Amino acid sequence: MSHDDAPTARRVDALVAQLEDRGITSDAELTAIVERFLAGAGPQNGARLVARAWRDPAFKALLLDDANAAIDAVGLETGHWVSVKLVAVENTADVHNVIVCTLCSCYPLALLGPSPYWYKSEAYRSRVVREPRAVLAEFGLRLEPHVEVRVWDSTAELRYLVVPQRPAGTEGLDEDALAALVSRDALIGVAVATAPG
């Protein structure tokens, strides 16, 4: 644990102690809930949404219009997102999207898994807004000059998911094979979907 995490850890410990003292729950019950949630959370969920959208125009339209409804349609558990709106933003030949949370590290955990260390860093949170092309280049992603970069700022109530462009030469692939081409970083927007090797 870093020095910066210590105050948060103390607050969490104090909250858990109060819940236990009042008989509401126990540390073991909370740990089990978190472990169950994390077991089902991961970038495979976001990749599954993208792969379905690449293969099914009607599902893609739903995902871009109402991402929460699209999640429900594929049967992903979203009960913990009661008040969180998810917005899917699509990369095209002329637009590249990238997500950030400038205040902390709000992030669609169920769809992307635990956030990477760099997503939480102050450097990423501040720089990707000011100089997105430079930050993307540091990730190895160099965009053509004509491509507009749009940065989307997540909040506690609003999260984003990038729908990367479908790689060329993937027309005959099934949904599982397509999902394997989509990384967590592509769902954040600091990478693109990989072409099949």
Residues belonging to the binding site for Fe(3+) are: 101, 104-106
d(CA 40, CA 34) in angstroms, rounded, equals: 10
Instruction: Note if 105 is an active site residue.
Output: yes
> 57: part of which helix (H) or strand (E)?
helix 57-65
Q: Which residues contact 26 (CB under 8 A, 6 or more apart)?
A: 19, 20
- The answer to whether 115 is a known catalytic residue is no
- Partnered with residue 158 across adjacent β-strands are 85
- Look up residue 117 and give its two tokens: 């260390």
Return the H-helix or E-strand segment holding 70.
Answer: helix 67-74
| 121 annotated active-site | no
Q: Of 106, 115, 126, 183, which one is the catalytic site residue? A: 106
Question: Is 26 assigned a catalytic role?
Answer: no
Active-site residue (options: 26, 104, 121, 126): 104
Please answer whether residues 84 and 106 qualify as being in contact, where contact means their C-beta atoms are separated by less than 8 angstroms: no
**Looking at 26, 83, 105, 121, which residue is catalytic?**
105
**Overall residue count recorded for the chain in this entry:** 197
Known binding residues are 101, 104-106
Tokens of 13: 């410990």
Of the residues 26, 83, 101, 121, only one is catalytic, namely 101
Q: Which residues are catalytic?
A: 101, 104-106
